[in-house]
Structure 1
C-alpha cells in the first residue's frame, strides 16, 4: 500500500493588489516614528528582496472557510471521489474566519466542520478538525493524514490550507505588503499505485524562536491598543530558515533513499523569493552541488505569501498547467518544504 495525493484544488482570490496600491499608506517604524523613505523607494526595495509585485485579497463577502470550501470541492472533483467516503477533513489555518471590517476571529465551530457542512457530508464518521501550525500547516496536515492511513484509521483524507491574512495586517507596517489570501487542498488516499509519500521530517523550535512571528500592536500609536496584527522579526526568521530548513530537507531526502540528482522539483513555502533561493542553494551545497535552474517553481510574484495556502496552491497550479514552463510528470521525485510560526519546519519527499 502506498499513500498518494489523488486530487488537488485551489482558490486564487479575484482582487489583485499591486505594490502601487500601497502608495498612499503611511508606513511607520515600530516605535511609531515616520519611516525615512518614500513609498516609491519602499516598494522598489520590497520587490528586490521578496520578488512580490502583486498579491490577492478575498472579496468582502468571503471568509476563510468559504475559500477553503472552494479549494476542497475542486480537490474532491479532481480526485473523482464521493465526499461521503472521506474519513478526515483537516483544515490548516492560523486566524480562523475574520469577516471584513471586523477585528474578531471566529473559530467555533472549527473551519473543518464548516467545510464539511458546506460539502453537505452526512457521514458522522468523517472527522473534521483544524490545526494551527503556522505556514507549514498544510504539509503537517498531509503528514497527519498519512499517519491515519498507515495506522488503518482512514482510507481517504482531505487536507486544506487556507488563510485570509489581509484581514490581520497592520497597514502602517511595511511587512503588510508581503501577505495575501488564498486556499489549496488535496485528497490523500491509500492506493496500490507506485510512489506517494516516501519520507517526512517535522520539528518545532521554541526555546528561543517561539515569538519570531506573533500578534502585536499597530505601529501607529493612535490605533486601538487592544487590537492586534500579525508581526514578525524578519531578519531572525531569515537566519533561522537558512540555518534549519536545508538540514531538515536533507534529513528527509536521506531517509527516502533517493539521491539529490533524483529531485525534479522543490515546492517550498512562498514566503520571500530571496530567502527561498538562499534555502535551496544551501540545501544543494550540503551535497556539494549547484541548484538546477528550474528546480524551484515560484508563484509568489503575483500571489504573494498566503501562508498555509502557498504550497498546495503552487502544486495545484503546476499539475493543471497554470504555471508557465513548469510541469510535474508521473514518477517525478519532489520535495514539499515549509517554515513558519512556532517556529515550525517540515518537509516531505514525494514521488508523483
Structure 2
C-alpha cells in the first residue's frame, strides 16, 4: 500500500504584546527616526506585529502552537515520533541543544523518536514540511510535529526603520501523519548561496566575542526582485510535478512578508487575490512561523476545508525558496 503524508491538525500562537504601527512610530520618534502608519502600510501591508515577553523563548511559543495542533489532530504528545522545528532564532546561540529537543522536553516526550531543527529562515517551514513528508513516506515516522517559531524582535536594529518595522514574533505548527489518501502532492526546494549577503542575521562569534554585524541585515530592493521571480517559478514547478493547473488551487498561502510580493505572485499565477490567505497585516514577517500562522487562521475560521488544495511557498535568507502543494 502506498503511504502518503497528510496534515491532520494545525495550531498557532502570537505573543500577548501587540505593537501597532503607531506604537512603533512613537518609539522610533523618540530616537529621532521618522516613520508612520501610512509609510509602513504602503510599503509592506503591515499594520501590527507581536513581540515575545522577556521570559519567552522560541521554544515557549512553539509549545503553545504545538499543543493547539495536537488538540486539533486528536493526538497526545506521546504519539509524536518526530519533531522538526524551523527557526532562525533558537533558544541557544549555536543551536545546541536544538530548539526541537527543548520543545520535546517541554511537551513531556522522552526518548520517542527524533527531534531536530531546520535553518532556512523564511523558507524554513516549507523545508521542514518537506522533510516530514519524506520521513513519513519512507516509513521512518508516523506522526510528525512540524513547527515554525521565531523571536525576531531579539535581532532587530531599532535604529533602522527599513527592517525593524517589518518583523514580529510568533509560532505555527502542524501535525503530519501517514495516510492512505494523498496529502502532500508535490515538493520543490531550492537554494543559492551566492545571494546570501542580501539577507542575513548577526555575524558568527569569534573566540573572544561577537564581531561585526550585530543585527539582521536586509537589502530590501534586492530581496524584493529575487523573491517575485523565484516564487512564481517554484510554484509552477510544484504544479507541474503534480500535473495540476493553477486553477485547481483553492488557497495560496505564501510567506507573509510583504503584501506587494504576495499580490504579485498571485497575479502571476493567475489566481484571484481572494484565493490568497493574508495575515501579514496583523503579525508582520514572522519568518518560518508565517506560513503555519496563516494556515491555522484560515483552517480555524472555516475558509480552508477538507479536500481543498493549498499551495504554500516561501523565500528567505540563504538564499532559500520552496513550495509545497498539499490536499487538506
Normalised to the residue count of structure 1, the TM-score between the two structures is 0.86
**Contact preservation (8 Å) 2:246, 2:269:** no
Gaps of 5+ in 1: 29-33, 99-104, 218-223, 285-290
Find out whether 1:337 has 2:313 as its counterpart. Answer: yes
Alignment partner for residue 20 of structure 1, among 11, 22, 30? 22
SS at match of 1:334: strand
Find out whether 1:97 has 2:100 as its counterpart. Answer: no
Higher helix share: 2
**How far is the alpha carbon of 1:60 from its aligned partner?**
1.8
**How far is the alpha carbon of 1:70 from its aligned partner?**
0.9
Find out whether 1:190 has 2:185 as its counterpart. Answer: no
CA distance in 2, matches of 1:63, 1:8: 21
State the number of aligned residues: 318
CA distance in 2, matches of 1:27, 1:94: 29
**How far is the alpha carbon of 1:24 from its aligned partner?**
3.7
Structure 1 pair 169–27 and aligned structure 2 pair: CA distance change class (3 A): farther
Structure 1 pair 165–344 and aligned structure 2 pair: CA distance change class (3 A): same
**How far is the alpha carbon of 1:163 from its aligned partner?**
0.1
For residues 211-239 of structure 1, what are the alpha-carbon distances to aligned partners after superposition, in whole Å with 9 as ceiling and x for unaligned?
1111359xxxxxx9756101101100100
SS at match of 2:201: strand
CA distance in 2, matches of 1:257, 1:329: 22
CA distance in 2, matches of 1:15, 1:152: 41
SS at match of 2:145: strand
Aligned pairs for 1:1-352 (under 5 A) are 1-22=3-24, 23-25=26-28, 38-40=34-36, 43-97=37-91, 105=93, 107-122=95-110, 124-174=111-161, 175-192=163-180, 194-207=181-194, 209-215=195-201, 228-284=214-270, 291-321=271-301, 327-352=303-328
Q: Which residue of 1 aligns with 2:206?
A: none
CA distance in 1, matches of 2:212, 2:189: 34
Q: CA RMSD in A?
A: 2.0
CA distance in 2, matches of 1:111, 1:236: 31
Structure having the higher Rg: 1
Structure 1 pair 200–229 and aligned structure 2 pair: CA distance change class (3 A): same
CA distance in 1, matches of 2:90, 2:317: 15
